[in-house]
Structure 1
């Protein structure tokens, strides 16, 4: 019996289109990944010139700004930030700073300090065996008392003193005359344009080589090394060499610097600030009191200098930007930073700052500029673009900072601005490109195609009118491909279609993608309309071949509309495209596989449909809908078992509107969701009222058709539960009628949803059973209660020619239902003969005009009252 059932169901219930599709698997196929990559590569190559052009322009602009110094301030800000992040909070144990602070000056009651005070301080420090004492206090003239004592104290060979070189009209400040030249160094801390000290001038030499001057920090280091018995010093045009270590000469265009060459004179280096506090510090008062620990001074370089702000020897540094008070660093502390850096490089092999050559910097800027164009073009959504920009900026900062920790100052601001400028240029181009092109296929979009069509008229303005044709192509059931295989498969399908169309046209010029799954082709000049129709059929045939996506066969069909119009005064390109679109939709309405040619009046139908949609929305707002109820009869008892709720629309402007006219519009526009919710609410309210007035056993059941849009709503179960609770009825009083096709779109999700509905106690029915494409392998998994035999089978049971065949089909469906413990309802019963056959086949329920047409609530209630009176009166 089961085998026979399978054979009959396969013969009569399987969708014939599926069988035809399965027979076409030997047709041509397209390699999905190959074509997908090819099309993306084609679009990418097409956009490369714009990316390269924008990156070249952005690079040129940024390099120009950099060379003129307009970006220096921003780059120095970035440099300071990296330096602060890189700094370690450890002092240099080789150094000790003896500061002359405000309190020291107050105690001495004299400024400048007397020679006696300085001499006493030097003598006190010498008692603790320092390696070197660096006196960072000018002493060009005597400040008695104690001048002889100071002169004697400075004769020690482990003391270095500072002087100031002449600058312009200022004469400078000399060191005491009795100090050898190799223990005297000049103090010159170059100040950048933002008043921050980042460089040190280590050495200067006259063009003749006769005058050679060493900085205070360099002289201190050389004396320190000399005392260690290991000191050599060489000068070359590009670097200083101390022992085996080379200190490159800072150039005017190094790192983020764009300095006048005069500012880069002498042998300078970039100060590698170690930390904000370079060494331990004691006050002058501490030294004069003499109560010090030996280890605090022994074998160290002791720097003596003024840290009091009244001494006017303090300077802003890279640390200053984050400070709110005491934001300047004393000159003696900056000298300590320089000395620490020099000793670290010479004795510990630490790296000095290095810089990219200017040409390499330009390449560096250019690469980030190119990356800006690529990132913007490849980012398809605004939030993705924002995320990518943040990531790239973070990577650029991280890379620059990493190189900074390795002593490399690689520009950050110029490549950042080049990246943003190039990206902005490409974004502007991309915006214009997207205005007239489809980003997926690279074809013209609707706006561009309309312009091209209108331009055809302009080109023909001085010529004879020519006939122009537009072929409009729409992919059938495209949404099911997207839902079933994913959007990437849908994208591949569209790309493959665009390639096939271009191959048949030998060009992409007359082709455009004018909608999600819609393409349009314009042809000119057209000599024969039938030739265009034949060409459209050829395209239909080519596009109907199976495509292969990751092992899946994709079968598609397309619907085609065609419009014709001559160029001339009345020619309007957008209208021609719209007419072809209308013709395509007309072909869909007729379910025609042939191209449909636009005819006058079709646009009127489109306008009428638009008005219908508008009136439908208004009707929902003004509550113009009402439910009619068709009785469902028990064929065994003849009594009413329930009703099917059917919606009717009595429009204030249109009058009665057939469900066949407005239901498809409601489905397509999504209004069916609101309408369906109202139907469920009203049907549940009505069945509760009838339960109260006409109690019976078994209770009446209200059947409601569920649309495909409703079935796809994610909150359907919650919505129905709310309706049941508001109506105050049990779930088993409501039966939902669902078509096979709705459940077969995604079987597993459908089963999950049906189980959720069953948990509410609802009854479920498969409507129009036998007309869809359900499979027996799934049917037993669906938690349904009822099979509903479609009226197309019932009405043909009395067909003279094929009555036996249709009776067998109905019998098979009834037997199948009973084998699965389901009850069966036959719809569309109109004659006594049909009812007798169904009773013989043991069908439980029936509905149709034989029993009653759909009734208003008042008439249905009267019918219930009459039946109640006849049975219990």
Structure 2
């Protein structure tokens, strides 16, 4: 039965429609993925110049800043942070430091320490077989008593002493003459511009090569490895111990930008292993023998001053987070360097490595480019924020990962490049999106209006020319958007923009000026008919079907055209508005041809705007009232209920037809508060009539529900509140819903209908047979009534097709009975129509034959009569 009705209605409607059947339309299936990709590529091409320009500009600026040293401080701060994170807490078991602290100096009661004290310490240590003793205390002049004793103690071949190289006018500090040169090393810890020690000299050589000096730490290592290394080589870029290369710093290594004089010699970064890299005993402990001998055996013992008062302490990368003792003693830094060199030679640990300058520039450029790409591709603010956080974290993580592998690559320059390039592109994108549609890349309404006005300025001193604007609206776009999803809607719009661009010589003539609206301007126009013909061609091109994920989309468009000559009275925005008005006029007339703007059309648009204003005022001033049309039982002739119909008696306009103000209310959303008032008033009225005219069965009040109301998320709660306030049961109220409202989203509609049914309401499908074909879902809808549309009822008596309409009505009534639904026929105006409906066993009817809509007073009088008909 359902299939038969579907065929009857479909064949009849198709036979009488002006639209071509799907078989008559030339099919042009389009791959949605390829078109979306093509559209994305086009938008990418538009954005690419701005991204490239910002990348080059920002990269060049940052490289300039870096080369001038303005970013060095920030880069060194980042370096210190990574040092603190990477460093372990373990000490090097090969090292022991004998510290001379403040308490030791107080006990000795003399500074510098006497030669006798130093000698005693050396001899005490030698008794426990240290591998090497490194004296990090200057001994350039004697400090008797005990000078001879110290000289004898220093003759041991496992002792290395420190000296200081001359610096400028300062002569330096020499080592005792009796100590061989291969057991003397210079102490020179370069201090960076921010007063932190991060690097050290290992070796210096005079330009002639005659003078070669080894650092204190390097001499310690060379003596420690005396039995394990066979060669020490010096190359311009590295030092080589056996097969181990120790790469030398240059003035631009890593984040450094140093004057060449600061990078002289063979320097390396100090690879801080830990803030506490050594075990420590004090000078007093050694002198008194208060220590474990195993701490000394086979160890490298460094002897040095650790008290800050003697100015032999330095800030290190650890100093930034320390609140006390934030400086490290020189002897401890030497211990760090010794541990680093031993690890490099014996455990094959990596020394710090760096990228060449050219690679670093490419690195900065890459992140600058990425900043522009990320900003352009991020369509929402929260997405942009998330992407920025992810990229910045990724950059930090990558730099930190390489740092753990002893690689120091720039962090701050690429970070600034990413942020600054992104900021530039964001500024461009903001301006771009102010004048362009983000989906299609076309000019938006503002931009198109400016172009039209500039077009006039270019010709203001020349002979006037005729300009045409075509305003194109995609019909039923909301249905496609809701039925197939927003991605399908976006695809449809991009496909339409591509088709339009293919018909034009230049993109600048085209714009997207609304959600589903496009506009084209043409100049100069010689013949208006040519423009009309072009518009008709566009309608044909744009109406060709599209394929979206296996679904066929059959788009149609409505076109409005306006003409105006350039000159002093030319106004671009008005020309665009006139074309818009003409398009809406074509929609109003349901015209398939382009509509040309004519004088007076804008007056109608203004009138519509005034109607909207008066409608808002009417709602505020309660100018609306309900009229009630009886619904009659065709078997008994009694009133079974009423349909509540809203009427507007405006204080300024007088009576306004529902056909005039309901569409405006729907379009503006005012139908929502108006519909709530209608429900409230109808429920109040039916309760009053129940109390005055108790009867069995009770009267039912039918109320039309608009599409806007049906989509309100709080509809069920709102109706429950209205029923509670009115004090009536839900089955006294019947909601009338059109097919199209249900079929927009069937599953959600069924869920909502079930929730409404849960309130006890009665539900009716209004205008059945005129909207979407809901036959395949009808058995799932929890409805009570089908209403036969008056367009079918009114054509059952006259005309050559009356038998077809009788057949349609018969099928709807039979379908309703088979599904246990009541059937109400609308629009009954003659006895003949009523007789036909009675013969078809239609149970209820309403129409002018029985009564026009009545005021509440007249409806109440009708109810009071013993025989209402």
- The match for 1:118 is 118
Tell whether 2:572 aligns with 1:573.
yes
Tell whether 2:236 aligns with 1:276.
no
Deviation at 1:870, TM superposition (A): 6.6
Deviation at 1:21, TM superposition (A): 4.5
8 A contact 1:641–1:700 mirrored in 2: yes
8 A contact 1:14–1:773 mirrored in 2: no
- The match for 1:8 is 8
Tell me the distance in 2 between the aligned counterparts of 1:14 and 1:326.
Answer: 92
- The match for 2:39 is 39
8 A contact 2:281–2:291 mirrored in 1: no
Judge which range, 844-853 or 125-134, deviates more. Answer: 844-853
Q: 1:729 to 1:15 in 2, by over 3 A?
A: farther
Q: 1:312 to 1:795 in 2, by over 3 A?
A: same
8 A contact 1:68–1:258 mirrored in 2: yes
- The match for 1:439 is 438
8 A contact 2:163–2:185 mirrored in 1: yes
Q: 1:342 to 1:493 in 2, by over 3 A?
A: same
Tell me the distance in 2 between the aligned counterparts of 1:478 and 1:370.
Answer: 38
- The match for 1:598 is 597
- The match for 2:769 is 770
Tell me the distance in 1 between the aligned counterparts of 2:85 and 2:529.
Answer: 77
Tell me the distance in 2 between the aligned counterparts of 1:334 and 1:13.
Answer: 94
Task: Map 1:683-702 onto structure 2 (within 5 A).
Answer: 683-702=682-701
8 A contact 1:24–1:545 mirrored in 2: no
**What secondary structure, in the 3-state scheme, does the structure 2 residue paired with 1:423 have?**
helix
Q: 1:345 to 1:449 in 2, by over 3 A?
A: same
Q: 1:249 to 1:669 in 2, by over 3 A?
A: same
**What secondary structure, in the 3-state scheme, does the structure 2 residue paired with 1:372 have?**
helix
- The match for 2:106 is 106
Q: 1:332 to 1:18 in 2, by over 3 A?
A: farther
8 A contact 1:74–1:413 mirrored in 2: yes
Tell whether 2:662 aligns with 1:663.
yes
- The match for 1:400 is 399
- The match for 2:166 is 166
- The match for 2:264 is 265
Deviation at 1:754, TM superposition (A): 1.4
8 A contact 2:32–2:491 mirrored in 1: yes
Q: 1:863 to 1:325 in 2, by over 3 A?
A: farther
Q: 1:763 to 1:125 in 2, by over 3 A?
A: same
Tell me the distance in 2 between the aligned counterparts of 1:765 and 1:14.
Answer: 26
Tell me the distance in 1 between the aligned counterparts of 2:501 and 2:32.
Answer: 17
Tell me the distance in 2 between the aligned counterparts of 1:689 and 1:113.
Answer: 113
Tell me the distance in 2 between the aligned counterparts of 1:418 and 1:203.
Answer: 37
Q: 1:114 to 1:728 in 2, by over 3 A?
A: farther
Deviation at 1:840, TM superposition (A): 2.7
- The match for 1:71 is 71
- The match for 1:253 is 252
Tell me the distance in 2 between the aligned counterparts of 1:524 and 1:386.
Answer: 44
Tell me the distance in 1 between the aligned counterparts of 2:2 and 2:131.
Answer: 107
Tell me the distance in 2 between the aligned counterparts of 1:542 and 1:357.
Answer: 58
Tell me the distance in 1 between the aligned counterparts of 2:163 and 2:560.
Answer: 94
Deviation at 1:232, TM superposition (A): 2.7
- The match for 2:198 is 198
- The match for 1:639 is 638
**What secondary structure, in the 3-state scheme, does the structure 1 residue paired with 2:507 have?**
coil
- The match for 2:530 is 531
Unmatched runs of 5 consecutive residues or more in structure 1: none
**What secondary structure, in the 3-state scheme, does the structure 1 residue paired with 2:644 have?**
strand
Tell me the distance in 2 between the aligned counterparts of 1:621 and 1:2.
Answer: 47
- The match for 2:376 is 377
Q: 1:155 to 1:442 in 2, by over 3 A?
A: same
- The match for 1:151 is 151
**What secondary structure, in the 3-state scheme, does the structure 2 residue paired with 1:509 have?**
helix
- The match for 2:346 is 347
Deviation at 1:546, TM superposition (A): 0.6
Deviation at 1:79, TM superposition (A): 0.8
Deviation at 1:54, TM superposition (A): 1.5
**What secondary structure, in the 3-state scheme, does the structure 1 residue paired with 2:796 have?**
helix
8 A contact 2:55–2:368 mirrored in 1: yes
Deviation at 1:14, TM superposition (A): 6.9
8 A contact 1:14–1:772 mirrored in 2: no
8 A contact 1:13–1:770 mirrored in 2: no
Deviation at 1:333, TM superposition (A): 0.8
Tell me the distance in 2 between the aligned counterparts of 1:723 and 1:698.
Answer: 22
Deviation at 1:636, TM superposition (A): 2.2
8 A contact 1:484–1:746 mirrored in 2: yes
**What secondary structure, in the 3-state scheme, does the structure 2 residue paired with 1:351 have?**
coil
Q: 1:526 to 1:464 in 2, by over 3 A?
A: same
Judge which range, 488-497 or 718-727, deviates more. Answer: 718-727
Q: What per-residue deviation string (whole Å, max 9, x for no partner) do you get for residues 81-112 of structure 1? A: 11111111111111111222222223333322
Deviation at 1:306, TM superposition (A): 1.4
Tell me the distance in 2 between the aligned counterparts of 1:382 and 1:718.
Answer: 34
Deviation at 1:229, TM superposition (A): 4.4
Task: Map 1:174-323 onto structure 2 (within 5 A).
Answer: 174-226=174-226, 228-323=227-322
Tell whether 2:587 aligns with 1:588.
yes
Q: 1:689 to 1:159 in 2, by over 3 A?
A: farther
**What secondary structure, in the 3-state scheme, does the structure 2 residue paired with 1:798 have?**
coil
Q: Using structure 1 for the length normalisation, give the TM-score.
A: 0.96
Task: Map 1:507-522 onto structure 2 (within 5 A).
Answer: 507-522=506-521
Task: Map 1:370-519 onto structure 2 (within 5 A).
Answer: 370-519=369-518
Q: 1:767 to 1:94 in 2, by over 3 A?
A: same
Deviation at 1:841, TM superposition (A): 2.2
Tell me the distance in 1 between the aligned counterparts of 2:356 and 2:18.
Answer: 69
| Number of residue pairs the alignment of both structures matches | 868
Tell me the distance in 2 between the aligned counterparts of 1:772 and 1:239.
Answer: 85
**What secondary structure, in the 3-state scheme, does the structure 2 residue paired with 1:796 have?**
coil
Deviation at 1:839, TM superposition (A): 2.6
Q: 1:394 to 1:521 in 2, by over 3 A?
A: same
8 A contact 1:561–1:585 mirrored in 2: yes
Judge which range, 581-590 or 162-171, deviates more. Answer: 162-171
Q: 1:5 to 1:409 in 2, by over 3 A?
A: closer
Unmatched runs of 5 consecutive residues or more in structure 2: none
Tell me the distance in 2 between the aligned counterparts of 1:122 and 1:625.
Answer: 110
**What secondary structure, in the 3-state scheme, does the structure 1 residue paired with 2:369 have?**
helix
Judge which range, 89-98 or 291-300, deviates more. Answer: 291-300
Tell me the distance in 1 between the aligned counterparts of 2:382 and 2:4.
Answer: 59
Tell me the distance in 1 between the aligned counterparts of 2:49 and 2:228.
Answer: 64
8 A contact 1:271–1:337 mirrored in 2: yes
Tell me the distance in 2 between the aligned counterparts of 1:3 and 1:187.
Answer: 100
8 A contact 1:222–1:231 mirrored in 2: no
Tell me the distance in 2 between the aligned counterparts of 1:856 and 1:530.
Answer: 53
Q: 1:675 to 1:2 in 2, by over 3 A?
A: closer
Deviation at 1:24, TM superposition (A): 4.0
Deviation at 1:301, TM superposition (A): 0.5
Judge which range, 103-112 or 263-272, deviates more. Answer: 103-112
Deviation at 1:206, TM superposition (A): 1.1
Tell me the distance in 2 between the aligned counterparts of 1:257 and 1:673.
Answer: 68
Q: What per-residue deviation string (whole Å, max 9, x for no partner) do you get for residues 148-196 of structure 1? A: 3322222221111111222222222222222222111111100000000
Deviation at 1:691, TM superposition (A): 2.6
Judge which range, 553-562 or 383-392, deviates more. Answer: 383-392
Q: What per-residue deviation string (whole Å, max 9, x for no partner) do you get for residues 64-94 of structure 1? A: 0000000000111111111111111111111
Tell me the distance in 2 between the aligned counterparts of 1:305 and 1:805.
Answer: 114
Q: 1:174 to 1:305 in 2, by over 3 A?
A: same
**What secondary structure, in the 3-state scheme, does the structure 2 residue paired with 1:797 have?**
coil
**What secondary structure, in the 3-state scheme, does the structure 1 residue paired with 2:140 have?**
coil
Deviation at 1:3, TM superposition (A): 6.8
Tell me the distance in 2 between the aligned counterparts of 1:705 and 1:277.
Answer: 83
Q: Using structure 2 for the length normalisation, give the TM-score.
A: 0.96
Tell me the distance in 1 between the aligned counterparts of 2:119 and 2:204.
Answer: 31
Deviation at 1:750, TM superposition (A): 1.6
Q: What per-residue deviation string (whole Å, max 9, x for no partner) do you get for residues 389-443 of structure 1? A: 2111111111111111111111011111112222222222222222322232222
8 A contact 1:14–1:774 mirrored in 2: no
Q: 1:500 to 1:683 in 2, by over 3 A?
A: same
Tell me the distance in 1 between the aligned counterparts of 2:684 and 2:116.
Answer: 109
